[in-house]
Structure 1
Amino acid sequence: MKVKTAHNDLLAEVSGTSLNEMRLQKVLEELHLHQAELEMQNDELRIANEKLELQQLKFSGIYDLAPIGYYILTKEGLVSEVNNAGILLLETGKGNIIGNRLQSFVAPEYRDIYHLFFREMLNSGKKQSRQLKMLSRKGREFYVQMEGIVVVAVRSLPLQCDIAVMDITERVEAEKVLAKTKERLELALEASLSGTWELELDTMKFYLDEFNYQTCAIPGGKFDGRYQTFISLIHPDDRLAVDQQFRIALNNQKSIDLVCRFDNQGGNTRFASIRGHVITEPGHPNRFVGIMMDITAKKELEQEAIRIKHEQQRNIALATIHAEENERSRISEALHDSVSQLLYGIRIKLGTLLDSDNAAEALRGVYKLLDLAVLETRNISFELAPAILNDFGLRATIEEMARRLSTPKMLIKTRLMTLNVRMDLPVESNIFRILQELVNNAMKHSEASLITIEVKKNKHVELTVSDNGKGFETGKPEDITSGSGLSSIKNRLSLYNGCIDINSKPGAGTVVKITLEIKPE
C-alpha cells in the first residue's frame, strides 16, 4: 500500500514537472514570436525613418534652392527658419535673420499693412496676400508679393506661420512706367484734341472714348457700340469711302489713315483724322485700335490760309497791273516830254531848211536835236532795262546811273564796297530798282546838290542813299512808305525780308538805309 502510494506520488511529481516545462516551452515560443514581430516592426520603422529622412532631404533641397524666399515665423512674428532665396533678398547673413522680426525688414511706410496682414493670417487661418516694400540690410528698396498661412504640424508643438516672399520690383517699376506713359498719353491726347477707338473684329463692336463722342457729334451722348452706327454718323459724302477703307484695312491687315467729316444736329461740320492698325495677340481675337483727332480748327485755318493766299494773289495781280499802268504812263510821259518834243523840233527845223539862207547852220541844228533825241532814247532805255546790268553787273550799272543822272547843279557820288563777286541777276535787278527809285525821289523832291549812293555787302546787303537837300518831317513810318514810289520799294523789300529806315529833318537832308537778307545760292 505504501509502495503504491509512493509510486503515485512519484508519478504526480513527474507529471507536475512535465506540465511546467510545457508551459515554459509555450512561453518561450510566444517570446520568440513577439521577438520576430518586434524585429519586423523595427525593420518597418527603420525603412519608414529612411524614407522620412529622404523626403526631408528632398524637401530641404527644394526649400533651400527655391527661387522664392520662404520664412517660417512663430506666432510672435520671429523668424525661426529661412531659405537661401530669403537670405539673398535681405542681403545679410542667416544669423541676422533667425530670431528677429520679419517686420524689421519692411519699409516704415508699409509696416501698418504688414501688421494687418499678419493679424488677419493668425485670426482667419486662411491664406493672406499683400504687396509691400521691403528694405535689405544694405538699404536696397524692393517690392514684394507676400503670401502667408498658419500651419499646425503637430498638436503638441506651437503653431507656425509659413510665408512666401516674391520679388516683384521689376513688375512694379514697369507698372509705374506704364502708368506714367498712360498719363502722358492721356495728356497728349487731350492736348491734341484726340481720343481712342477700338473695333473687335470677331463681333464688329466699336468702342469710343468720351472725347470722341464730341468729335463724332453723337446725339445725346449715347452710342450703341455698333460699327454700322459709327459709319452712319459720318457725313454722307464721306461715308462710303470711309467704310471701304476700313474693310480694305481689315481684309489686308493694314493700317488706316483717313480724314472724314461728321455733322452734328446743329448742322455744324467737324473734321476728324482717323488712324489705326490691327493688333494680333496669341489666344485673343484680333483688334483694330487707333486714335481719332479733331482737326476742325486745323481745317478752318487751312481754309483761311487758302482764302488769304487767293486774296494775296489777287492783290499781287492788281499791284502788278497797277505797276504796269504806272510804268506805261511814265514811259508815255517821258517820250512825250523829251523824245517827242525833240522829234517835233527836228520836224520844224527840217521844214525851214529849204527856205533858210544858211542851210548848213540849219542842218547842224537838226543834227544837234537828233543827238539829243538819241541820248534821251538811250536814257529811257537804260531806265527801263539797262543792258549793262546783265553784261557787267551791279557795280558798273550803279556807276553808269550816277554818271547819266548827274548834272552841273546836282552831283551823284557812289561808294560801292565788296561788290566784286556777282549776285543772282534778279537780286541785282531788284537792288538797282530800289536805288533808282530812291535817287529819283531825291532828284524830284529834295532840291539837293549832292546825292550819295553807298552799297556794302557782307552777311547782308546794306543800301544807303543820302542827300543834302531840304529834308522833311518823317512823321509815322507807315505814312512815309505810303507813296507810290516807296510802296514799290516796300514790295521789293518783302522778297528779301528787308527793312527800311528813313531819317530826315527840315533843312538837314535825308538818309535812307535799307538792309536786305540775301541767301547764298
Structure 2
Amino acid sequence: MDKDHSSERENSISLISKLSGKLKYKNEDFSAKTRLTPDDVNVLLNELQVYQLELEMQNDELKASYATLDRERAKFVGLYNLAPVSYFILDYLGIVEEVNQNAVDLLNIPRQTILHKRFQSFISPQSWEDFYNFLHRLQYNDHKQTAEVKLKLIDDQFIYARMEGRAVSSIIVTEVKYYIAIIDITESRNAQQVLKETKDRLEMTLKASATGTWTIGCASNTVFLDTHSFNIMGVSSTSFNGTITGLIELIHPDDQKQVGNQLISAVHGIKDIDLEFRIGDIDNSFRYIAVKGHEIKIPEESGYFAGILTDITERKRLEQEAAILKNDQQKLVLSATLTAQEKERNSISSALHDSVCQLLYGIKLNLESVERSNSLKGEFKNVKQLLDQAIKETRQISYELTPSVLKDFGFVAGIKEMAQRTSTVHFQIDTYIDRTADTLHPDVQLYIFRMIQELVNNCIKHSKASHAEISVCLKNNRVSIRVSDNGTGLSQPHDQENNTGSGLSGIRNRVYLLNGKIKFENSKKGLTVTITFDNTPELSV
C-alpha cells in the first residue's frame, strides 16, 4: 500500500508541476521536491477539477460559437453568391479576394481567373483615374462612396457600371479591405445618351424653328418657360415671376381678356389651348405669338398643360401685306368697274342729249311746220305734249346719267341743283352743304354725288317720305354725309346688311373705296343714313 500511495503521490506531484503555471500557488522555485501535505494535495486537486470544468464549459461554448458562425457564414455565402448585384472584396492593393456568382456572370470569365487579380485589369484605361480616386475616397472616408467606370469584357466588349463601396478594417489585423458592389448601368447609360441626343436635336430644332416650350400647372398657378420662349417673346426671365397672372401681364392689354378666358376654359373643360396674342417690344412695336398645347394627365396627381410657343410676327406681317394687296386689288377692280360705268353713262348721256333729244326736237319742229303750212289748229296738240314729255324725261335721264352742273359749277351747286330737280309739291329736300366740299377730289365728289343720288331715290321710291334732308360736312379733314327722311324707314333692322339691291350695293362699294363707314339709324321719325370717311391724299382714284 505504501508503494501505491507513493505512486499516487508522485503522479499528483507531476500533475501539479505541469499545471503549476496556472495555479494560484505558482512559484518560480516550485519543484517536485517540494514537500506537500495531503491537505495541500487535496486543495490542489479540487482547484484542478474546477479549472477542468471551466475549460470544458469554455470548450463547449467555443464549439457552439463555431457552429453558429458556420451557419451564419453559410447563410452569408448563400446570400452573397445568389445576390442580384455583383459583389467584390478587394484587399488594400485592389486585388480581388472574393467574388460572388453575379460578378462572375457579369465579367463572363471563370471565378479562378478573377480571384487574386488586380481589379484594375477589368477596367477600361479611360476609367483608371476614376477607379483610383474611388479607392482613395474609400480609404479616407467611413461612409459609402460611388463612382461610374467602364468595364472591359472579353472580345473587346465594354459595359458601363456604377460602383458603390465601403472600406472595412479588421479588428485582428490592420489591413483594410474594400467591399464593392457593381451595378450594370449600360442600358440606363445608353438610354441617357439617346435622351441627350434627342434633347440636343430638339434644342437645335426649336432654335432653328424659333419655337419654345412651356408648361402651366393650374393647381399651383405656375408657368415654366424655357430659354427659347423668353427669347421669342423678347422678355427677360427676371421680369417674369413664373405665375399665370405674371404671364398675362406680359401680354398686350387688348389681348389679355381673350387669353385669360381661353385659359379658364381650358382648365374647366376644353383640354386644348390654341392662342394668338401680342406682346409689346422695346421699340413700341408688337410681336405676335402663337401658343398651342394640351392637358397632360398623371394618375393620382394634378395634371398640367404643356405645349409650344412660336413667333408668328413674320407670318402676320405677310398675312397683313397679302390682305392689303388683296384689298388694293379689289379696290382697283371695283374702281375700274365704276369708272367703266361712268364712261358708259357718259356715252349714253351724250347719245340721249346729242341724238335722241335732237331728233325729238326735230320731230316737234316738223309738226309745227306742218301745222302752219296746212293751217291746222290743235290736231297735233296731244302729239306735241307727248313730245315735250319725252324731251323732258330724256333730258332728266341724261342729267342723272351725267350731271353736267357737277362739272360746270362744282359739287355744292350740283347737289343743290339735284335737290331742286327732285323736289316736288309732295316731297321737299333741304340741303346743308359745306362750301369747302368743292375742294374735294373730283372722283370723291362724284362718289358722294352718286351715293346721295341713290339715297334720295330710295326715299322717293320706298320710304313714302314727304321731307328729306341732305348735309355734307368737312371738319378736321373728315367728311361726314348725312341723308335723313321722315318716311317709314327700313322694315327690318338688318335690311341694311342683307339687302342685295344694286342701289345699296353701289353705295357700299363707294364707301369701301373711300375707306369709310356707313351707318343706318331706323327710328319712328324715319331713316337716317350716315357715311363718314377721312379725306386723305390716297382717295384719288
Calculate the TM-score normalised by the size of structure 1.
0.53
Pairing partner for 2:144 from 127, 142, 145? 127
Matches within 5 A, 1:248-263: 248-252=265-269, 254-263=271-280
Aligned partner of 1:193 in structure 2 is: 210
Aligned pair 1:302/2:319, yes or no? yes
| CA-CA distance at 1:218 after TM superposition | 3.5
Pairing partner for 1:90 from 107, 119, 125? 107
Opposite residue 199 of structure 1, the aligned amino acid is I
Aligned pair 1:104/2:110, yes or no? no
Aligned partner of 2:262 in structure 1 is: 245
Q: How many aligned residue pairs are there?
A: 308
Aligned partner of 2:405 in structure 1 is: none
| CA-CA distance at 1:22 after TM superposition | 5.2
The 2-side partners of 1:80 and 1:131 are apart by 22
Does the residue aligned with 1:273 lie in a helix, a strand or coil? strand
Aligned pair 1:67/2:71, yes or no? no
Pairing partner for 2:198 from 181, 196, 199? 181
User: 1:221–1:59: structure 2 CA closer, same or farther, 3 Å change rule?
Assistant: closer
Does the residue aligned with 1:156 lie in a helix, a strand or coil? coil
User: 1:196–1:170: structure 2 CA closer, same or farther, 3 Å change rule?
Assistant: same
Note the residue ranges of structure 1 that are not aligned, 5 or more in a row: 1-18, 325-521
Aligned partner of 2:179 in structure 1 is: 162
The 2-side partners of 1:51 and 1:219 are apart by 70
Does the residue aligned with 2:102 lie in a helix, a strand or coil? helix
Aligned pair 1:216/2:260, yes or no? no
| CA-CA distance at 1:268 after TM superposition | 1.6
Measured against aligned partners, the alpha-carbon deviations of 1:373-395 in whole angstroms (never above 9, x if no partner) come to xxxxxxxxxxxxxxxxxxxxxxx
Q: Percent identity?
A: 36
Note the residue ranges of structure 2 that are not aligned, 5 or more in a row: 1-35, 342-541
The 1-side partners of 2:228 and 2:259 are apart by 20
The 1-side partners of 2:144 and 2:249 are apart by 53
Aligned partner of 1:147 in structure 2 is: 164
8 Å Cα contact 2:277/2:288 also seen in 1: yes
8 Å Cα contact 2:230/2:237 also seen in 1: no
8 Å Cα contact 2:206/2:228 also seen in 1: no
8 Å Cα contact 1:219/1:264 also seen in 2: no
The 1-side partners of 2:316 and 2:101 are apart by 66
Matches within 5 A, 1:321-340: none
Measured against aligned partners, the alpha-carbon deviations of 1:97-150 in whole angstroms (never above 9, x if no partner) come to 112211111112222222222233334455332111111123221111112222
Which range is displaced more, 57-66 or 157-166? 157-166
8 Å Cα contact 2:122/2:152 also seen in 1: yes
The 2-side partners of 1:220 and 1:87 are apart by 53
The 2-side partners of 1:322 and 1:85 are apart by 95
The 2-side partners of 1:175 and 1:323 are apart by 73
Opposite residue 90 of structure 1, the aligned amino acid is L
Pairing partner for 2:69 from 52, 72, 76? 52
The 2-side partners of 1:54 and 1:72 are apart by 21
Does the residue aligned with 1:180 lie in a helix, a strand or coil? helix
| CA-CA distance at 1:319 after TM superposition | 9.4
Matches within 5 A, 1:506-517: none
Does the residue aligned with 2:275 lie in a helix, a strand or coil? strand
The 2-side partners of 1:252 and 1:206 are apart by 19
Which range is displaced more, 153-162 or 25-34? 25-34
Opposite residue 79 of structure 1, the aligned amino acid is V
User: 1:86–1:253: structure 2 CA closer, same or farther, 3 Å change rule?
Assistant: farther
Pairing partner for 1:293 from 310, 325, 331? 310
Which range is displaced more, 115-124 or 126-135? 115-124
User: 1:105–1:323: structure 2 CA closer, same or farther, 3 Å change rule?
Assistant: farther
8 Å Cα contact 1:253/1:278 also seen in 2: no
8 Å Cα contact 1:258/1:275 also seen in 2: yes
The 2-side partners of 1:49 and 1:304 are apart by 95
The 2-side partners of 1:35 and 1:155 are apart by 28
| CA-CA distance at 1:313 after TM superposition | 5.9
Aligned pair 1:204/2:210, yes or no? no
Aligned partner of 1:43 in structure 2 is: 60
8 Å Cα contact 1:217/1:233 also seen in 2: no
Does the residue aligned with 2:257 lie in a helix, a strand or coil? helix
The 1-side partners of 2:212 and 2:38 are apart by 107
Does the residue aligned with 1:266 lie in a helix, a strand or coil? coil
Aligned partner of 2:96 in structure 1 is: 79
Opposite residue 220 of structure 2, the aligned amino acid is T
8 Å Cα contact 1:70/1:86 also seen in 2: yes
Which range is displaced more, 177-186 or 279-288? 279-288
Does the residue aligned with 1:272 lie in a helix, a strand or coil? strand
Measured against aligned partners, the alpha-carbon deviations of 1:321-373 in whole angstroms (never above 9, x if no partner) come to 9999xxxxxxxxxxxxxxxxxxxxxxxxxxxxxxxxxxxxxxxxxxxxxxxxx
Which range is displaced more, 137-146 or 56-65? 137-146
| CA-CA distance at 1:308 after TM superposition | 4.1
| CA-CA distance at 1:34 after TM superposition | 3.2
Opposite residue 40 of structure 1, the aligned amino acid is M
Which range is displaced more, 131-140 or 255-264? 255-264
Opposite residue 41 of structure 1, the aligned amino acid is Q
The 2-side partners of 1:173 and 1:73 are apart by 29
The 1-side partners of 2:213 and 2:123 are apart by 41
Aligned partner of 2:294 in structure 1 is: 277
Pairing partner for 2:284 from 246, 259, 267? 267
User: 1:219–1:167: structure 2 CA closer, same or farther, 3 Å change rule?
Assistant: closer
Opposite residue 181 of structure 2, the aligned amino acid is A
Does the residue aligned with 2:323 lie in a helix, a strand or coil? helix
Does the residue aligned with 1:195 lie in a helix, a strand or coil? strand
| CA-CA distance at 1:170 after TM superposition | 1.2
| CA-CA distance at 1:184 after TM superposition | 1.3
Does the residue aligned with 2:154 lie in a helix, a strand or coil? coil
8 Å Cα contact 2:255/2:277 also seen in 1: yes
Calculate the TM-score normalised by the size of structure 2.
0.51
Does the residue aligned with 1:138 lie in a helix, a strand or coil? helix
| CA-CA distance at 1:297 after TM superposition | 1.1
Does the residue aligned with 1:229 lie in a helix, a strand or coil? helix
Does the residue aligned with 2:284 lie in a helix, a strand or coil? coil
8 Å Cα contact 2:288/2:313 also seen in 1: yes
